[in-house]
Amino acid sequence: MRILSGIQPSGALHLGNYFGMMRPAIELQEQGDAYFFIADYHSMTSLYDAAQRRQNTIDVALDFLACGLDPVRSVFFRQSAVPEVVELSWLLTTVTPMGLLERCHSYKDKLAHGISPNHGLFAYPVLMAADILIYDANVVPVGRDQKQHVEVTRDVAQKFNQTYGETFVIPESRIRESVAVVPGTDGQKMSKSYGNTIEIFGEEKATRKKIMALVMDSRTPAEPKPDADKNIAVQLLKLVAPAEVGTDFEERLKAGGLGYGDLKKALFEHYWTYFAPARARRAELAANLDHVENVLREGSERAALVARATLKRARRACGID
């Protein structure tokens, strides 16, 4: 079984990235042939600073390796280091119905949040399909809100296969049922696009300030808070603290006598402790960037072997070999 997942280097990785994608992906290393890539081509739809993209790419590599990705058990690489994916994207574009892209909720959601539209943003599901199909991925782990991405890939692959003959493996999505949507500082889904994130490796003082600034309601410490389970700070605390700690704070809020300030202080302390081992590992890696570059280079070489074979098969199928 080949598993594939990717993440954009469009900004500092945050708790939503970690609990929604990174940790589940790292856990999958034990279950199959895992391919993980840094989606720098995809970042070009929203990030236009070349130096920042280079730095973000290295930061994503550091973050992933620090959090436990094993480059021996997994193939870890830059998307752009295997440019065959762009050619495959064009082959797929020629059979992708416009209506399929127009129905994609991610594009409509970004427009609704004021993000300026461009063709890359509109057509990126095709590049995403190429990302998946070029590595003959069987399984793509996603959150429930991202299931449509894999459905589009399946539709495009089936359309190509119907047009030119059996060429691509049809992937299956694996819904991460146990992973809740991680709330951002404003209560929406945590996303770099919305500017509501708490970084995995944020600077201590700045992160403490961000957590302490979480907006709560106006109830006093003495007042019971019956909707504690919907509280942003409680939801985040349950991710980084032992289960009994999150439950205890939730019950204390409901009973009354606990202030939001104490809750937010506890959230910061558990967040800081949770990522302490990864912070130490990241510092070691950052002091040896040659090793990180070697990991990405070796990963791209392994990925390219598969990608070239798939692209050759697709070119032959549509008659441009």
Catalytically annotated residues: 110, 189, 192
Amino acid code (one letter) for 99:
G
User: For 183, which DSSP code?
Assistant: B
CA angle 46, 49, 53 (to 5 degrees): 80
User: For 11, which DSSP code?
Assistant: S
Edge-to-edge strand ranges of the sheet holding 74-78: 74-78, 33-38, 2-7, 139-142, 172-175
Residue 184: phi, psi to the nearest 5? -85, 180
What CA–CA distance (Å, rounded) separates 101 from 78?
Answer: 25
DSSP-assigned beta bridge partners for residue 7: 38
Is there a contact between 198 and 14 (Cβ–Cβ < 8 Å)? yes
